[in-house]
A and B are shown apart, each in its own frame.
Chain A
Amino acid sequence: MADAAVHHDIAGVYEPSLFGTYSKKIGMWLFLASDSLTFGALLFAYSYGRVSNPSWPTPFGKESIINATIMTACLLSSSLTMVLGVLAAHRGDKSRTRNWLFATMFFGAAFVVLHGMEWSKLIHEGMTPFTNPWAPSVPQFGGTFFTLTGMHMLHVTIGVIYLGVVALRKKFLPVLLLLWLIGWLATPASNVFHLGVHVLLIGAVVAAMVLFLHPKDYDSHDVEVSGLYWHFVDLVWMFIFPLVYLMSTRV
């Protein structure tokens, strides 16, 4: 009887995959499609304010543009190292895959640090989510700028944690907690990142839940899916950089 149950003809019950590929990849693509609408809404909110206010501030001088250009180069280079990591993963070269993932994480972390410095400079000049010193009649500049770039910075940070988990699994948790502790103690209490660095602690808790509740050895498909997320983060910046920085240069 048991054999009869096992050999049921179920071929017609399960449909083939929607796009002829594995479900993890389709899941990530659908998430990215929804996330692109989130970023689209934030970009359009910023652009709406920009179009409807002729006195929109232009606070980004030479130093800021150079900084943002280096940040862009960091993200583009991280995409290259990521795709080389995916290539190595498909070849089955685990050691090289891990090294490429580390390089990607390094560029991502460099981006976050540079962006944090840019934020700190703007805040030091008097910019808040509700006011800015360059155009007091345009209070929404700070709100739209910080929301858009903050959301992106959060995505990059989550991406670095994601890649760390894929590369090192449980070994990444103490590294992440150490980074959180260093970041928390090294930033002055008056700095916005003294609170913001707790994202790393939340990330460590979530990563620990995933790693302990669903332990597994990540394969080349997992590396490819994490790569899709990482390239999306890079892709979004390709629109933020010209819209926010290059259209508001003060030369």
Chain B
Amino acid sequence: MHTVAATHDERKAQYFWVWGALLILTGVEVFLAYERFFQPVRMLEVLMVLSVIKAALIIAYFMHLKFEVPFMRFMLMAAIVACLCLMCIFFADAMRILSLGVK
């Protein structure tokens, strides 16, 4: 019984740490964007890296995927990430419009 209560307390503390980290990362994002710390392309890269870290924290701890079986972790994440990455193929066309115009 004591072990269960201790595990719950550990989990609760972990959730507060994750929440704090997410708030701090959001603050960093806002600061960087507000101060225009980087050029737009570099800014996009930095913001996306920070967003992926935040997303990973939410998926791993709040959605408990870290505590699921490895097969489930791999199947879900590999499928979603692969599909989302495939969408990036369209960006080549967006760059073409920039240099060649709409044809």
Binding site for B on A (CB under 8 A): 18-21, 29, 33, 36-37, 40-41, 44, 47-49, 51-52, 54, 65, 69, 72-73, 76-77, 79-80, 82-84, 87, 91, 224, 227-228, 231-232, 234-235, 238-239, 241-243, 246-247, 249, 251
* A20 engages B29 (CB within 8 Å): no
Question: Which residues of A have CB within 8 Å of B36?
Answer: 249, 251
Contact of B94 among A48, A65, A76, A80 (CB under 8 A): A48
**CA separation between A166 and B18, bound complex, in Å?**
25
State which of B68, B72, B87 has its C-beta within 8 Å of the C-beta of A40: B87
Question: A20-B72, A246-B47, A249-B36 are known contacts; what are 20 more A-B pairs with Cβ within 8 Å?
Answer: A18-B72, A19-B69, A20-B71, A21-B68, A44-B90, A48-B94, A51-B91, A51-B95, A79-B22, A79-B58, A80-B19, A83-B15, A83-B61, A87-B11, A231-B59, A232-B63, A235-B63, A239-B55, A249-B34, A251-B36
Of all chain B residues, the one with the shortest Cβ separation from A240 is: B51
User: By the criterion CB–CB under 8 Å, are A246 and B91 in contact?
Assistant: no
User: Chain B contact residues (Cβ within 8 angstroms of A): what range?
Assistant: 35 or more
Let me know if B87 and A247 touch, CB within 8 A. no
Cβ–Cβ < 8 Å partners of A249 in chain B: 33-34, 36
Residue pair A52, B47 in contact (C-beta under 8 Å): no
State the Cβ distance, B60 to closest chain A Cβ, in Å.
11
CA distance A29 to B64 in the complex (A): 12
> Interface readout for B3-37 with A: 1 if CB under 8 Å, 0 if not?
00000100110011001001100100110111010
Give the complex CA separation of A65 and B27 in angstroms.
Answer: 11
The DSSP consensus for interface residues of chain B is: helix
Within 8 A of A (CB), among B72-98: 72, 75-76, 79-80, 83-84, 87-88, 90-91, 93-95, 97-98
Residues of chain B lying within 8 A (CB to CB) of residue A41:
87
Given contacts A47-B91, A77-B19, A246-B29, contact A19 B47 (CB under 8 A): no
Pairs across A and B, CB under 8 Å, 6 listed:
A19-B75, A20-B69, A51-B98, A54-B98, A79-B22, A246-B32
- B9 to chain A: closest CB distance in Å? 10
- Considering the complex, give the chain A residue whose CB is closest to the CB of B30: A69
- Picked from A33, A37, A247, the residue with its CB within 8 Å of the CB of B40 is A247
B84 touches A37 (CB 8 A): yes
Pair B62/A82 contact, Cβ less than 8 Å: yes
Report the minimum CB–CB distance from A124 to chain B (whole Å).
Answer: 24
- Interchain CA distance A80-B59 in the complex, whole Å: 13
